[in-house]
Chain A
Amino acid sequence: MKNRFKKVLSLALAGVMSVSMLAGCGKGDSADGSASKSGKDSVKIGVLVADVSGEEAIGFRNYYEKYIQENYDVTFDYTDALESAEDEKSAIEKFASKGYDAIISLSSSDRAQQIETCEEYGVYYAIASGVLDEEQYETYKGYEHFVGQIGPSNETEFEAGKAMGEHFKSQGVSKVAIYGAFIPNPMHVYRAAGVIAGLGDTYGGTDDMNGMIGQIFGDQAIDLSKIEGDVEVVAYLQGYGDTTTDELNAAIQKAPDAFLSVGMATTFFAQTLSQNDIQFADIDSFTEMNLDSMTNGTLTYLAGKYSSSIGPVFALVMNAVNGNVIRDNDGNAVSLSQGYLVATDVDSFNQYYVTDNGDTPIYDKESLDSIIGDSVTFENIKTLVESK
């Protein structure tokens, strides 16, 4: 009995001590205030993320944490990978409870709920990846704390996929494999539909964007039996799980002329495709890993965003926090679409990669300073975004 009680007591004490120790070395603001980003007047921005490991997500994070945070009096706090609308709402509430000034969203389980929650807590909100659909934008464009959205629209996603398909068709490919990434993620659905349209094929008898995406959402995948056209799609895979390697090997066995991916191919498949000497294309980011694949000749087409493309959203948020809530000409939240840049060789890749890397991002301090300030208007932001 005595021994048992001691064991219980020691376990309980160990638990309490562990938590106390953690409390001592926690991630809270440092007591000595040595880091300027923890300063009292520093702007605090929470970032909602669903993807924490993708090339694009890492590039975005490095830009905010390693460049913006060093050049502005701002602190970024990232969430863990958010999986659901409940996770997103809870994360916003936690940021609000610590007095965060704004939320930048890279997570899209329920954007409407995100905006409503930010409005409820009086926290500024902006979207840095993807955009609201037209109906949602109409609903929320007048919300006081909804600052805006700058990123590729759904139509832009479709066009990016279409351009990829057209590129390979013009190269004379006759059979391809398609990787649908994480369909039914809307962004990937639009891109995949675009790829099929670009190849000159139809899906379920149509090459119209809305007709195709409606069917893909219903199918929750690309149904190969629905694809008709000159370029044959010999294999299709999506997601990443236990069977993906087998599916990829099966696709390789069919000897496609190209492997067309709508996202994250480098992360998952670059090595295997390289070993089998199959060229691939992707819609991703200008990152080091993609540069390696392009240098070794496997990645032959990349439609990408550069990591600093989320700079203007930061500017919108900073302006709002500093009292200059920028509205478009109709008095609504800003909504601007950003296109993709395309690289088909190392030279064109480097043109975007090198200029956006490290201390000299495309949206560097100088260009951001031109759109951060009390007198900045919607036209200033629009002009800069359209010029890049």
Chain B
Amino acid sequence: MSKGNKLKNSQMLIAILPIVALIVLFIVFCTVVQMNEYRLDMYLKIVFNEAVVLAVVATGAIFIYTLGTFDISLGASTLFAATLGVTVYNKTESLVLMILVLFLAGIVCSLFNSILASIFNIPAFVTTVAMMSVLSAIASQIITTDGGALGGISIPSSVVEPYTGVGFKILLLGLYFGICYFIFQHTKTGRRMKYIGGNPLCAGLTGIKANKYTIIAFVMAGIGVGLGAFLTLTYTPSVTTQTASSIGMNIFIAIVFGGMPISGGPRSKIYAALVGGFSYMLLNDILEILIDSSAAYGITQVISAVFFLAVVYVTSMNYRSQMLPR
């Protein structure tokens, strides 16, 4: 076998590993659930509800990560959007207006980040950390002021009742993923984003305006945030200061679990968030069922971290070849 073919096979093997891992985790999960006498149909629904918000927000975030940058404020943006959405619903009792506000809030938060990053050239790490604090603080202020003794704000569960079904959520996820996939894989925009992420200098020299694509990437992530906020409310129609608090960091983990390099560029994969998000949640639930946290507090985090490092090690083998990506 020629050296080129060997490399190709190796890259293909590593590329499909995240999907294989998802399948293996799914089988192990089903086995563990059955062995521990849980109802599989119910537990699958639980995992889906846990993973769908992460998968949606992370899929939007792929556009940002592809550019070689990142946004740690997406969890706070989701909280902020959900808070504004609930507030608007409680003032107007209009579901349409609430949904509009959810998306608008997500996009505006993201746009603000992108403007700071692309126009004022402030590193995304700095702007998004700052935005995370600001958005969380504003949301907390609204929640504690309006929520008072209840500790949170909410809309009547009957408002989102028609949208709580798994089928509807799969449809939304599929629709959003389909649009993202098309833009990422089949348009000039997607290709240029990968180019910018791989080599911003070359991209600039060929006339590609990085600022324009940064803004597009953040807008796509903003749409994901809006959709994520809506899906959060369909699961629990209430918002507390801790709502979506883990999403920011979980996006990072999900993308790595999905086999995408954090450095972005041409090896970025739009499906990484979907695969990684579900893999991560399956792993979490497997460990939660198997390990009594009271007996070994924090052990699930340690095992997750070991898995995380193992995945990074395996996927990084692909980047250490001496040939350019193809």
Contacts and interface: CB of A to CB of B under 8 A. Distances in A.
Interface stretch (B36-44, B60-68, B211-219): B36-44
Contact of B157 (A19, A90, A116, A186): A116
Interface string B291-313: 11111010000010001001001
A28 B286 CA distance: 12
A138 interface: no
A137 interface: no
B314 interface: yes
A123 B151 CA distance: 24
A388 interface: no
B149 A27 contact: no
B46 to A, nearest CB: 5
Contacts of A184: 144, 151
Interface in B1-42: 6-7, 9-10, 13-14, 17, 20-21, 24, 28, 31-32, 35-39, 42
B292 A27 contact: yes
Contacts of B49: 90
A1 B10 contact: yes
A27 B152 contact: no
Contact of B240 (A16, A85, A116, A213): A85
B110 interface: no
B149 A23 contact: no
B271 to A, nearest CB: 20
Contacts of A331: none
A133 interface: yes
Contacts of B307: 15
Interface residues of A, number: 56
A8 B238 contact: no
Interface string B139-165: 011001101111110100100000000
Contact of B289 (A5, A20, A26): A26
B290 A22 contact: yes
Interface of B is mostly: helix
Contacts of B295: 27
A18 interface: yes
B17 A8 contact: yes
Contact of B310 (A1, A15, A90, A110): A15
A85 B10 contact: no
B277 interface: no
B14 A108 contact: no
Nearest to A96: B42
A218 B145 contact: yes
Interface in B40-82: 42-43, 45-46, 49-50
Contacts of A186: 148-151
B105 to A, nearest CB: 19
A5 B13 contact: yes
Interface of A is mostly: helix
A15 B25 CA distance: 10
B118 interface: no
A4 B7 CA distance: 11
Given A15-B310, A110-B236, A27 B148 contact: no
A353 B148 CA distance: 34
Given A93-B46, A97-B42, A109-B242, A217 B6 contact: no
B173 to A, nearest CB: 17
A289 interface: no
B293 A112 contact: no
A94 interface: yes
B245 interface: yes
Nearest to B24: A16
Given A86-B236, A186-B150, A97 B39 contact: yes
A99 B37 contact: yes
Given A1-B6, A83-B245, A109-B242, A213 B152 contact: no
Interface in A19-70: 19-20, 22-23, 25-29, 52
Interface of B: 6-7, 9-10, 13-14, 17, 20-21, 24, 28, 31-32, 35-39, 42-43, 45-46, 49-50, 140-141, 144-145, 147-152, 154, 157, 232, 235-240, 242-246, 286-295, 297, 303, 307, 310, 313-314, 317
Interface of A: 1, 4-5, 7-8, 11-12, 14-16, 18-20, 22-23, 25-29, 52, 78, 80, 83-90, 93-94, 96-99, 108-110, 112-113, 116, 133, 136, 154, 184-186, 189-190, 213-214, 217-218, 220
30 contacts: A1-B9, A7-B317, A11-B310, A12-B24, A16-B28, A18-B303, A19-B32, A20-B28, A22-B290, A23-B35, A26-B32, A26-B35, A29-B37, A52-B297, A80-B293, A83-B245, A84-B244, A85-B238, A86-B50, A86-B243, A88-B236, A97-B39, A109-B151, A109-B240, A113-B236, A186-B151, A189-B149, A190-B149, A218-B144, A220-B140
